[in-house]
Structure 1
Amino acid sequence: MKKILTIITILAVSVSLFVGCTKTSTADDSLTKVKKAGTITVGLDDSYPPMEFKDSTNIIKGFDIDMINDIGKKMGLKVKIVPTAWDGIFLALKANKFDVIQSTVSITDERKQTMIFTKPYIYGGNAIFVRTNYSAINSDKDLDGKTVGIQMGTTAQGVLSKLTGIKEVKKYNSMTEAFLDLKAGRIEAVVSDPQVGDYYIADKKSDFKRVKSMLNQEPVGIGFRKTDVALRDAYQKAIDELKKDGTLSKLSIKWFGHDIYK
C-alpha cells in the first residue's frame, strides 16, 4: 500500500513539475529579455521620408528615428536599428530578426491576426500626389485610365484595387523611386501616406502637389510579435510619457511643420 501511495505521490509531483515547467516556458519574458540585453532592436524600412530615411551622408534619420531613440531613453535601453526591406519586414519580425517594427505601419485587421500593436501614435492613410503643373487628377475618380505608383506591400495596393478603371498600378521598392518616376512623367500619380508625400512637397515645392481629397485614413502603430505583450505595454508606456511631456509635439513640428498632437 505504501508503495502504491509513494508511486501516486511521485506521479503527482512529476505532473506538477511538468505543468510548472510548461507555464515557465510559455511565459511572456519579452521585456525581461530586452532589459537583460540592454538593447532593443527595431526593424524599419529606411526609404520612407520623413518618417525613416537615409540622408545624403547615409545616416538614417526621421520622425520615427527620433521617437525610437527617445523611447529607448525612457526605457533605459540602447537602440539598434535594423534596416529591412518593406516586403520582408513582417516575416523578419516573426523570425526574431528584431524586437519591434516601427516603420509607419498601418494598423489593419489583417495585420492584427499575426501581430499586436501599440495605440496609434499618428494617423496616415493614402493620399494622391501629382506633378505641380498637372491638372487632370483632382480626386480618385480622375485616376481612370492613369498609371499610378505605390510602394510595394503598402496598404495603397488594397485601396486602389477597389477602384475601377486604373490603367496600371506600378509597384516600387521605395517611395523615392516612385516620386522620381512621377517627376520624370513616367507615371501620372503616386499614392502614399500624406506625411511622406508632404515631405516631398516641402523639399521640392516646384515639383509636386497633393490632391485635396484623401482616399482613406489609417491609424499607424508599432508592431510586436503576438507573444510579446509585456514589451508592447512597456513601449506604450514610454510613448504615453513622451506625449505627456511634449516630446512628440516637438518632433512633429520638427518633421511635419506643425503639431499633430494638439
Structure 2
Amino acid sequence: MKKELKLFLVMALGLLIIPVLGGCGNSKKTTRAEPSSWETIQKNKKVVIGLDDSFVPMGFREKNGQLAGYDIDLARAVFRQYGIKVDFQTIDWSMNVTELRNQTIDLIWNGLTITDERQKALTLSEPYLTNQQIIVVKKSSGITKLADLKNKSVGAQSGSSGAQDIDDHPQILKNRIKNHDPILYDSFNNAFIDLNANRIQGLLIDSVYANYYIKHMSNSSDYRIIKSNMPSEQFAVGIKKGNTEVKQKIDQGINQLRADGELKRINQKWFGK
C-alpha cells in the first residue's frame, strides 16, 4: 500500500512539473528582440513611437479618434524617407523613459524637452523646435503677474519639464504658490478642467500646447497668458541610451526635410508663419 501511494505521488508531481516547464519554454518565445536598434527597425519596416495623445498640437486625437499633430507629421515624414512605417502608442507620460527601457516603444517623440536628467537617461536627437513655459490663468481671477500667484494653487503635468522647472527654479514659482508645490495632473486636459472650476488658479504649461489649445476653445477670451520667466526649452526625440545610429538617421531625416522645404510646410501647417 505504501509502495503504491509513493508511486502515485511521483506520477502526480510529474504531471505538475510538465506544464510548469512548458510555461517556461513559452515565455522565452515571447521575449522581444532589441526593438530600438536601427537594424531591427529596418528589418521590420516599422518603428513604435510613444506619446501622450492629448498634447496638442504635437500629438493628439481628433474627434474621429485619429491621431494628428506636428510630431505625428514630422515623424512620418522622417521615416517615409527610409520606407519605414510609424506606429504610435499611447503611454503614461510620467513613465516615458521606463517604457523605452522596457522595450514597449522604440522612441519617445512628443514634445520631449531636453533636460539634464533626460540627457543622462537617453540619447537625444538634435533639437528641432523651441518652446517656452507659460502660465495660463482665468481673466476673472484678477491674476496678471507672477506675484499675484502668492498662496494660489498652480497645476502642472506630472513628469513634464514644467514640473521639473518648478523644482529647479524655486525662486520663480515654487516659493510663491500654495504649499510650495504644484498640483500634478496626468494630462493638461484634466488640468484645464480644474482651472475652469477654480480648483487651481494657474497652470504652468508648454506655450505650443496652450496657444493652440486656447485658440480652438469657444471661450478662448476667458484666459490670460503670463510669462513664467522659466528658461526656454528645446524639443528632441528620445532614443534608447547609446543608440547613436538611430539618432543619426533621425537627424539626417530632419535635415533633409529642412533642405527640401517639407519642414517649413509642416511648421506653417501647425504654427502659421
Q: Which bin holds the TM-score, normalised by the shorter protein? A: 0.7 to 0.9
8 Å contact kept, 1:127–1:216: no
For 2:212, the equivalent position in structure 1 comes to: 199
TM-score (norm 2): 0.79
TM-score (norm 1): 0.83
For 2:203, the equivalent position in structure 1 comes to: 190
Aligned to 1:206, the other structure's residue is in SS state helix
Which whole-Å deviations, capped at 9, do the CAs of 1:24-47 have from their partners, x for residues lacking one? xxxxx9211111111111111111
CA distance in 2, matches of 1:160, 1:213: 10
Counterpart of 1:154 (choices 150, 156, 160) is 160
Aligned to 2:81, the other structure's residue is in SS state helix
8 Å contact kept, 1:137–1:211: yes
CA distance in 2, matches of 1:176, 1:183: 11
Q: 1:192, CA displacement in angstroms?
A: 0.8
Q: 1:224, CA displacement in angstroms?
A: 0.4
- 1:1-262 correspondence to structure 2 within 5 Å: 30-139=37-146, 141-161=147-167, 162=170, 163-168=174-179, 169-204=182-217, 205-212=220-227, 214-258=229-273
Q: 1:73, CA displacement in angstroms?
A: 0.7
CA distance in 2, matches of 1:179, 1:105: 21
CA distance in 2, matches of 1:131, 1:174: 19
Which whole-Å deviations, capped at 9, do the CAs of 1:175-234 have from their partners, x for residues lacking one? 111112112222111111100011122112223231145422111100101131101100
Q: 1:123, CA displacement in angstroms?
A: 1.1
Q: Where do 4+ consecutive residues of structure 1 move more than 6 Å?
A: none
Which amino acid letter does the alignment assign opposite residue 167 of structure 1?
Answer: K
Q: How many residues align?
A: 229
CA distance in 2, matches of 1:38, 1:69: 13
| Residues 52 and 224 (structure 1), Cα distance of their counterparts in 2 relative to 1, 3 Å cut | same
| Residues 132 and 74 (structure 1), Cα distance of their counterparts in 2 relative to 1, 3 Å cut | farther
CA distance in 1, matches of 2:51, 2:188: 14
8 Å contact kept, 1:42–1:101: yes
CA distance in 2, matches of 1:120, 1:143: 32
Which amino acid letter does the alignment assign opposite residue 75 of structure 1?
Answer: Y
Q: 1:82, CA displacement in angstroms?
A: 1.2
Aligned to 2:132, the other structure's residue is in SS state strand
CA distance in 2, matches of 1:73, 1:132: 44
Q: Unaligned regions of 5+ residues in structure 2, if any? A: 1-35
| Residues 103 and 132 (structure 1), Cα distance of their counterparts in 2 relative to 1, 3 Å cut | same
Q: 1:103, CA displacement in angstroms?
A: 1.2
